[in-house]
Amino acid sequence: MLHREIERTEADLSQYAHCKNIVFKMAQMTKNPAIGTKENPLSQSGVIDENDPAFHLPTLEEFLNVLTELKEHNLSLMQNTAKMNHGLKKLTRKIQKTSPKVNDKVSLQILDLRNRLDTEKTSAVKLKKKVCLHESLKTGDEGIMLNALGEKVSKKYIQCVDKRPHLLSTLEMVANMESRLCTLLDQLDRIPEDFLEGVLKIKETERSSRQREELLRHEREKQKEKLKKCMQRSCGDSKKRLGRKLMPRCLPIKNNSKQEKETKVCEENEAFLFPAEDDE
């Protein structure tokens, strides 16, 4: 029984001590007009001294004022906390609503990028194959083209430099042709201008004479064609006219025979043709 009383008394003492600490802390929160701006006694030693002249026990009104201020402060904190919780809930709901859409959109973008990457890889592989094929065809075409050029160069070398058989490469033949051309140009530069002008005039006259002969030959051929056509028309069978024969009022004098007339015409044509061939 005594033991229980002691425990109860200790519990009351601890509760009173707790209340005392609360009262002293509230006393620190209030201001004493007699002390002014002196430092708080708890700030130096950390222990509240009741006998200290700076210590001021608050009155009931001050105590109630502090309690009301604390209540208002707690209410404002609670209101702010409620607002923050409400905003946080809204934000959480918004995130929960939008996160699936965002995740789907991001996943679609990732899938699209992967597909593009795969297509680019396949196109790169195809392009590499095409480049390799082009290089192989290019080498083959180059070989064929070089062989054709070598044949052309060898033909020109035989025509211009040396007609004898040779075992020179294409570059050597080109070099020999170039040296031959240089020597010919040097020789051409050494020719006197008067002699060169005379040679050019002779060539020009020869060219003009050839052109005249060609024109005369064409004209003679045309004349021959015309005469042949005339002979064919004259010596050929005349077309028989159908229908009634028209008779003139006065009969003309008949020739000996139609055949003699035709032979005469043929002889005249031949006589006209043979002198032209003799002149040629």
| pLDDT score, position 209 | 92
pLDDT tens-digit map of 85-101: 998 998 888 888 888 88
Query: Which residue stretches of the chain have pLDDT < 50?
Result: 31-47, 276-280
pLDDT tens-digit map of 17-28: 877 777 777 666
pLDDT tens-digit map of 190-226: 888 888 888 889 999 999 999 999 999 999 999 989 8
The residues, ordered by sequence, that sit 6+ positions from 88 with a Cβ below 8 Å of its Cβ are: none
Written as six digits, the tokens of 115 are 């597909």
Query: Residue 24's closest CA among 5, 2, 47?
Result: 47
Q: How far apart are CA 105 and CA 112, in angstroms?
A: 10
Q: How far apart are CA 278 and CA 280, in angstroms?
A: 5
| pLDDT score, position 53 | 53
Q: What angle do CA 118, 121, 124 make, to 5 degrees?
A: 150
| pLDDT score, position 192 | 84
| pLDDT score, position 276 | 47
Query: Residue 268's closest CA among 235, 240, 237?
Result: 235
| pLDDT score, position 45 | 45
- CA distances to 61, 70, 100 from 58, rounded to whole Å, are 8, 15, 60
User: Cα(first)–Cα(last) distance of the chain, in Å?
Assistant: 175
| pLDDT score, position 217 | 92
Angle formed by the axes of helices 193-235 and 258-279, to 10°?
A: 170
